[in-house]
Amino acid sequence: MSRLETADRSRIETHQLGRLQEGLGRILPANRFYRRKLLQESEIISIERLADLARLPFTSKRELVSDQEEHPLFGANLSYPLSEYVRFHQTSGTAGRPLKILDTQESWDWWAECWTSVYRAAGVSRDDIVFLAFGFGPFIGFWSAYEGAKRLGALTVPGGSMDSLQRLRAMQEIDATVLVCTPSYALRLAEVAQEHGIDLRELSVRVTIHAGEPGASIPATRERIEQAWGARTYDHAGMTEMGAYGFACSEQQGIHVNEGEFIAEILDPATNQPVGEGQVGELILTNLGRWGCPALRYRTGDLVRHGGYSCACGRSFLMLPGGVLGRADDMLIVRGVNVYPSALANILHRFPEVTEYRVIVTKNGPLDEIALQVECPTALISTIQEEMRVALNLRVPIEPVELGTLPRFELKAKRVVDHRPRL
């Protein structure tokens, strides 16, 4: 653990202010996107104290996407000449047009360094063998995980161009001790292992690290992964346009924001005012080292709970209990009850007989309705329904479906099928 991770808050804030000021000095001469945004009455907004950050305008994904449309191909959020950039990645584009992101070597090294914090917090060291169960494409997550493991000094194994069984065999053969993949895929691998008579608990994997979607911070999902793999499971949070900003510690109660490299604000989406400890709001992030393609006061759209600054692990970095709770636009309002897909996962994953499920969302007049399709024995349906009623105060129609009929996922799962008319 770095010294800053356990430092008192004033030291952390002094560090953040220094980094932000230095970064602005590097961004502003050439970055047309932020130069324009930070210009107010012919003066650039100056940052004298950390509280001045609140004077800067927000950055939204929509804004970055339309900037790339206006200034093809890569937009105006570049602080250096194009020849300085060495990495190209893009977002998955699930919520619209993919965003193209470039990194300089310096920014890419910063990504890798952020990932070393994720590994260290999970107890991973240079003695580990890290297997990345992922087809390497333009999605940034696992490339940066790969670079981070290399930087840590661990033996790093790419698992691209393999099917699930080949990946399992490869992990067996090389004695992998760490698995990095999405939480959905860790469960899919467990299912394939079972089909082929492989007992994952006999593998050398002792740590699994998950990114790309909530899951490893949902207690029932985490427990299911840990039991299948006989390993400890850690959550990680990151975004293509932001960086690898959060990691789970040994307490496994959620994620810490890496405040050495990011500034976090948690704001009430309705008022844009900071929420108090214990309350839920939208996470707004500023990165402090990706100067080639920075993001200042970026609206992540992710809802998180403010968990204060103390943790049994000794870190004083901001805690987000339960990790990312969901996207602000994922929340469903069913008969007046707020339902997050993660809450459904937390109930369904408690039942070992449930192998996969899907949430069907429809509209009944002005109201959202949900129904579930669940791969499980028919006899279990009424028990699951009762659990849902107790936990969510909702009666949810559930249709049992045959084992193996619902889709499986290697990357982010798409378990919510939205049949509501588009507005």
Q: Which residues bind Zn ion (CB under 5 A)?
A: 249, 251, 311, 313, 315
Return the number of the residue (149 or 248) whose C-beta is nearest Zn ion.
248
Q: Please, what's the b/e burial string for 321-353 (b: 16 or more CB within 10 A of its CB; e: otherwise)? A: bbbbbbbeebebebeeeebbbbbbbbbbbbbee
Q: Tokens 């993949």 map to which residue?
A: 181
Return the number of the residue (114 or 313) whose C-beta is nearest Zn ion.
313
Hey, how many other C-beta atoms are within 10 angstroms of the C-beta on 192? 15
- In angstroms, give the least distance from the CB of 119 to Zn ion: 15
- In angstroms, give the least distance from the CB of 260 to Zn ion: 14
- Asked if 119 contacts 148 with a C-beta cutoff of 8 angstroms, the reply is yes
Q: Tokens 């619209």 map to which residue?
A: 96
E runs forming strands in 75-137: 85-90, 100-104, 129-132
CA neighbor of 399 nearest in space, from 369, 380, 422, 373: 373
Report how far residue 230's alpha carbon sits from residue 247's, in angstroms, rounded to the nearest whole number.
Answer: 21
- In angstroms, give the least distance from the CB of 387 to Zn ion: 30
Q: Which amino acid is at 368?
A: D
Return the number of the residue (209 or 396) whose C-beta is nearest Zn ion.
209
- In angstroms, give the least distance from the CB of 312 to Zn ion: 7
Return the number of the residue (228 or 318) whose C-beta is nearest Zn ion.
318
Report how far residue 316's alpha carbon sits from residue 414's, in angstroms, rounded to the nearest whole number.
Answer: 35
CA neighbor of 38 nearest in space, from 26, 55, 25: 55
Read off the tokens for 165. Answer: 């069984």
- In angstroms, give the least distance from the CB of 253 to Zn ion: 7
- Counted residue by residue, the chain has a size of 423
- In angstroms, give the least distance from the CB of 267 to Zn ion: 23
Report how far residue 402's alpha carbon sits from residue 405's, in angstroms, rounded to the nearest whole number.
Answer: 6
- In angstroms, give the least distance from the CB of 231 to Zn ion: 19
Return the number of the residue (191 or 251) whose C-beta is nearest Zn ion.
251
Return the number of the residue (59 or 316) whose C-beta is nearest Zn ion.
316
Alpha helices in 258-352 (DSSP H): 341-348
Return the number of the residue (154 or 320) whose C-beta is nearest Zn ion.
320
Return the number of the residue (273 or 310) whose C-beta is nearest Zn ion.
310
- Asked if 105 contacts 115 with a C-beta cutoff of 8 angstroms, the reply is no
Return the number of the residue (307 or 341) whose C-beta is nearest Zn ion.
307
Instruction: List the Cα angle 285/286/292 in 5-degree steps.
Output: 135
CA neighbor of 245 nearest in space, from 126, 140, 353: 140
Q: Are strands 178-181 and 207-210 parallel, antiparallel or unpaired?
A: parallel
- In angstroms, give the least distance from the CB of 315 to Zn ion: 5
- In angstroms, give the least distance from the CB of 313 to Zn ion: 3
